[in-house]
């Protein structure tokens, strides 16, 4: 297995965790579909998690492209 395979697997796991951790309300349960509120402005840890999700998503896509080539 090449290094790109390890990066793909690791980034897929981290990306899944980051997506599940993101919330859209006051609590973690809101992220699982029980909250009715929608935050328009991301602040603090929500903003950091959102930005990390984008970065890990880009790393995941690039590692997939590296595996194809």
Residues constituting the chain: 69
Distance CA 43, CA 11 (A): 24
Contact predicate 1/50, CB 8 Å? no
pLDDT tens-digit profile, the chain (69 residues): 788 899 999 999 999 999 998 866 555 555 555 555 555 676 788 889 999 999 999 999 999 999 888
First to last CA, the chain: 14
């Amino acid at each position: 297995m090449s290094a790109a395979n390890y990066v793909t697997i690791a980034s897929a796991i981290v990306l899944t965790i980051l997506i599940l951790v993101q919330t859209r309300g006051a609590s973690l349960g809101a992220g699982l579909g029980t909250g009715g509120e929608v935050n328009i402005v991301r602040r603090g840890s929500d903003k950091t998690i959102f930005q990390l999700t984008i970065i890990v998503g880009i790393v995941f896509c690039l590692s997939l492209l590296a595996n194809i080539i």
